[in-house]
Amino acid sequence: MKIVLIGYMGSGKSTVGRKLAERSSFKFVDLDDYIETAEGISIPTIFSEKGEIYFRKKEHQYLQEVLQKEESFVLATGGGTPCYGNNMAAILKATQMSYYLKLSLPALVQRLEGEKAARPLIKNIPTEELPEFIGKHLFERSYFYNQAHHVISCDGKGNSEIVSEIAKLSV
């Protein structure tokens, strides 16, 4: 079984993915970590030294590599992964178990305000401009995110509750 989690940065894909993989006794794969290991450098360094186009090509390549594995796994994608190339089509072709972890704009802003330094995409965005920036991104990306087989509304839910909800749908 292949379970793929998509959603905006800060939506909990990695945290929920780890817990879900543990509960299911599946391997957990964080696509960003996979890319960093394969490339031997961090994603911010890839962006600054080689550019976003290079990163998106490599992201597509490594996504395909992971999706072709025969083993059962839980995959947490990057926030932009489904929105580039044919990545969302590849996800939908590889599994019937894709989940969009959906959070409202206020919930995402609240989560991401304290994580700005660790998030290259938003680290230089003034806090007062964060809602507009995230809102614009959500609008642009929602077309891709909403193609997931299941949309999990995560507002007001703890990670364990989200994991249970996905586990029930994945049986």
Binding-site entries for Mg(2+): 14
Residue 107 near residue 61, CB atoms below 8 Å: no
Q: Where are the alpha helices (DSSP H) in 82-156?
A: 87-94, 105-113, 130-145
Residue pair 63/90 in contact (Cβ under 8 Å)? The answer is: yes
The annotated binding site is made up of 10-15, 32, 56, 79, 119, 141
Residue whose C-alpha is closest to residue 56's, from 46, 65, 66 = 46
| Binding region for substrate | 32, 56, 79, 141
Q: Which two tokens stand for residue 138?
A: 């959500």
Q: Which residues are annotated as a binding site for ATP?
A: 10-15, 119
CA distance 160 to 20: 9
